[in-house]
Structure 1
Amino acid sequence: MPTELDIIFLILSIAGFIIGMLGNVFIGLVNCSEWVKNQDFSLADFIFTGLTISRISQLFMSLFESLEMVSPLHLHLTYKLSKIITLFWRITNHFATWLATCLSIFYLLKIAHFSHSLFLWLKLRMNRVLLTILVFSLFFLILDFLLLETFNDFFLKVYMIDKNNMTTYIEESKAVFVKTLALLSLTCLFPIVLSLISLLLLFLSLGRHIRNLQLNSMGSRDSSTEAHKRAINRVLSFLFLFLVHLFSTQLANWVFVMLWNNKFTKFVLLAVYVFPSGHPIILILGNSKLRQKALKVLWHLKSSLKRENLLQLYR
């Protein structure tokens, strides 16, 4: 029987899933409708849409893991099914990480102001830079596939080995497991460094611009200054959520096998929901187009509820 902790964990998991799905599906629908309406789909729209799809997939995978962890009858997955789930989990995390990295670089090149020749060269070729990074990320995805294939084939032998030698083999498999996960973790090092550098440079540029505006306007309540302060808050929020995403997903890779169905594992899995559920809210609040669309949807929902209440009163 599920314990009280399992029930709380499941409720929080479902809540994170619903919040994330509402935000990501809304952003995806708005981007697709704008594309159909204007017949124009920029690289930035592609990044937003791709990030939305990867986060939706990540939410489904996280919910599946949550349901499996609290299931009274533990699901003993077959080798083929567990292999597919592992690969799909890795693919969703890979694209969520790299597309978020491209988004941070897009923000840097679009918003920041630096006089350095390299930055100006990259700014003029922003679409090419982002496209090159996306293509380059496929190299790391192929490397992940090769590592996971070796890792899964190694563990398949566990089901075929003589039980008398099982203890020795498990000790050997743990060593291979640690080495493989360490290599898989290193493949995320490059996007982490790129994202941190981009967001920190953007933060420095916005901070310097705010100081210049305050000196020129002799006050801190200038509208442009307030707009840049809000931009800094969004950058810091994105940085925080992205770091939580990287830390939780990497930690989840280690604890899912070594500490399966442990209280700590449940906490780590809840942290995985933070980025795909929280970042869409930041995007909606920080983007005027998305914010206006969301207000329209809320207004229509409020009007519909009022009409329903009036109809019930007259019945």
Structure 2
Amino acid sequence: MLTGLDIIFLLLSIAGFTTGMLGNMFIVLVNCSGWLKNQHISLSDILFTCLAISRVTQLLVLFFESVTVVIPSHFISTYKLVKPVSFLWRITNHWTTWLATCLSIFYLLKIAHFSHSLFFWLKWRINKVVLVILGFSLFFLISDFVLLEEFTDLFLNVYVTNKSNLTLYTDESRTLCLEIMLFLSLTCLFPIVLSLASLFLLFLSLVRHIRNLQLNSMGSRDSSTEAHKRAIKMIMSFFFLFIANFFSTEMSYWIFLIFPMNTFSKYAMLAIYIFPSVHSLLLIRGNSKLRQTALKVLWHSEN
């Protein structure tokens, strides 16, 4: 029998899931329809579409987890699904993070202005740069799989095989779990560093661009300046939401590990909905094509 707290948790999960699905599915539909219509799709639209698809999958996995933690065990064997769901969550979270990071690097190479030869070399090979970064990210995905395999096996042995006697959860097992979780967390440092570097270089490019305009008595507002500012806002929104998502995800892992039977532990999962849901809305707002299409849809729905 579901309690009042379980019902509130499910309602909040449904709200986060619905918001995220609407935003991400809108991005997919707009870009795919434009691709079919024009027989052409830009790299930015490809990144937007792949990011939205990965987030749709991520939201499905997250919502499934939200449902399973409140359904009584005699209705569904939750623990049998721990490993496949954990792997699927890690895959979707990995591609969501790295695709958003590639989008940040794309904005940097597309908009920033630097006279260094290396920057020009990367700028003219932007497609290959994105592919190399995504290929490089596979190394971290494989590492995650190895660590996650060991972590889930240990977790299942402690909480399933011996769930009738939780005192068997020894200090040694607890320490090993915490160490594995720490290593899993470290794999997120690289996309954080790349996004932060993109944000810093874009800001530096903007400052230099405005300074050059002022020296030439051209004011401080032009199309390039506005493009810089929009890109900085997009990357900043991703960066701060990603940091919030990172801490929310880690907090939920730690709470479930330390207090697995606590009634309120599942509420930590709700904060994870923010990143795939809110960021998709910010992407729509920051992209002119998506924003105009969204305004048209809203205008037609009101009339």
TM score, norm. by length of structure 2: 0.86
Confirm or deny that 1:183 pairs with 2:189. Answer: no
Q: Identify the residue that residue 137 of structure 2 maps to in structure 1.
A: 137
Q: 259-268 or 188-197: which moved more?
A: 259-268
What is the CA distance between 1:84 and its match in structure 2? Answer: 0.8
Match of 1:310 in 2: none
Give the letter aligned to residue 36 of structure 2.
V
Mapped contact 2:82–2:152 kept (Cα < 8 A): no
Partner of 1:102: 102
The two structures, once aligned, show a CA RMSD in angstroms of 2.9
1:24 aligns with 2:24: yes
**Structure 1 unpaired stretches of 5+:** 304-315
Matched residue, 1:198: 198
Per-residue CA deviation, residues 183-204 of structure 1 (Å, 9 max, x unaligned), is 2112222222112111221222
Please say if residues 97 and 246 of structure 1, whose CA atoms lie closer than 8 Å, have aligned partners that are also in contact.
no
1:35-78 deviation line (CA, Å, top 9, x unaligned): 21222244433322221111111212222233334446686635
Contact in 2 for aligned 1:147/1:184 (Cα 8 Å)? yes
Letter in 1 for 2:269: L
Q: Sort the Cα spacing of 1:233 and 1:162 in 2 relative to 1 into closer, same or farther, 3 A.
A: closer
Measure, in 2, the Cα distance between the counterparts of 1:220 and 1:101: 29
* Structure 2: unaligned runs, 5 residues or longer: none
Contact 2:58 2:92 in 1 (8 A): yes
In structure 2, the residue matched to 1:271 is 271
For 1:10, the equivalent position in structure 2 comes to 10
**Cα distance in 2, alignment partners of residues 162 and 229 from structure 1:** 54
Deviation at 1:17, TM superposition (A): 1.4
Q: Amino acid of the residue matched to residue 245 of structure 1?
A: N
Q: Distance in 2 between matches of 1:257 and 1:162?
A: 13
SS at 2:40 equivalent: coil
Shift of 1:224: 6.0
Post-superposition shift, 1:87? 0.8
Say which SS state the counterpart of residue 152 (structure 2) adopts. Answer: helix
Residues 252 and 268, structure 1, Cα contact 8 Å, conserved in 2: yes
Q: Give the corresponding residue for 1:312.
A: none
Q: Deviations over 1:68-102 (max 9, x none)?
A: 34446686635442111111111111111111111
| Cα distance, 1:250 vs structure 2 | 3.0
**Residue equivalent to 2:66:** 66
After TM superposition, the structure 1 stretch with the greater mean CA deviation from structure 2, 64-73 or 111-120, is: 64-73
Preserved CA contact (<8 Å) 2:114 2:205: yes
State the partner residue of 1:287: 287
Paired residues, what number? 302
Q: Give the distance between the partners of 1:112 and 1:93, measured in 2 at CA.
A: 28
> Aligned partner of 1:172: which letter?
E
Paired residue for 1:37?
Answer: 37
Contact 2:112-2:228 within 8 A present in 1 as well: no
Residues 283 and 217 of structure 1: CA distance in aligned 2, closer, same or farther (over 3 Å): farther
User: Within 1, Cα distance between the matches of 2:162 and 2:214?
Assistant: 71
User: Alignment partner of 2:115: what SS?
Assistant: coil
> Which residue of 2 is the match for residue 208 of structure 1?
208
